[in-house]
């Protein structure tokens, strides 16, 4: 769903990537520098690979940033929903969640570092990714739905695991007539 939205949106709103001039190699002669503030709107790309020139026009928003944030945000929310209160160490879950989000943010930052996107493209992609992940978590996966779900603590889980699951065999007991009407006290 996220990739489809990104591809549709990027073709309608896409802008030039930071490395567009290096890929396009336009045939523009500005050696005279008489008018340094001239806007060039008519040019022909001399770049050898037309596919790369087309891709260099599709910057807004970053699909990599969006997808990395969808994955990492969903993983963090999934862990929060499923493991909250079950781990014996309370620091383990937040550290794991921060590590996962750190990987998603690192992937997003790498798109700025390698000049594939502007910072605003990455920020928009991250925001869309987090939004889509929250929608998927709440409305599709329904992870935070409390219906038909019992929450138990770690101690209760340990006690449930330690209870033997077998029952003792029952012995046939013959009750005499004089004791049949009396209540049984154990």
Active site positions, annotated = 64, 117
Whole-number Cα distances in Å, 99 to 79, 142, 155, 179: 12, 24, 27, 69
Q: Quickly list H helices, 47-113.
A: 50-55, 63-83, 92-113
Interior angle at CA 116, CA 110 and CA 118, nearest 5: 90
**If you search the block for the tokens 């049949």, which residue do you land on?**
180
Looking at residue 171, what DSSP letter applies?
A: P
Closest by CA to 46, choosing from 18, 27, 21, is 27
| Cβ proximity of 123 and 105 under 8 Å | no
């Amino acid at each position: 769903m996220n990739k489809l939205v990104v591809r549709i949106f990027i073709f309608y709103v896409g802008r030039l990537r930071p490395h567009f001039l290096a890929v396009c190699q336009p045939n523009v002669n500005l050696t005279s520098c008489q008018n340094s503030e001239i806007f060039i709107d008519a040019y022909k790309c001399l770049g050898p690979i037309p596919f790369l020139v087309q891709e260099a026009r599709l910057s807004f928003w970053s699909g990599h940033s969006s997808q990395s944030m969808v994955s990492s945000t969903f993983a963090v929310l999934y862990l929060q929903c499923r493991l909250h209160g079950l781990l014996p160490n309370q620091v383990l879950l937040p550290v794991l969640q921060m590590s996962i989000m750190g990987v998603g943010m690192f992937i997003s930052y790498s798109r700025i570092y390698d000049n594939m996107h502007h910072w605003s493209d990455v920020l928009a992609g991250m925001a869309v990714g987090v939004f889509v992940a929250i929608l998927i978590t709440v409305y599709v996966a329904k992870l935070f739905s409390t219906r038909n779900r019992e929450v138990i603590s770690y101690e209760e889980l340990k006690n449930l695991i330690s209870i033997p699951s077998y029952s003792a065999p029952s012995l046939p007991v013959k009750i005499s007539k004089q004791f049949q009407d009396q209540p049984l006290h154990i």
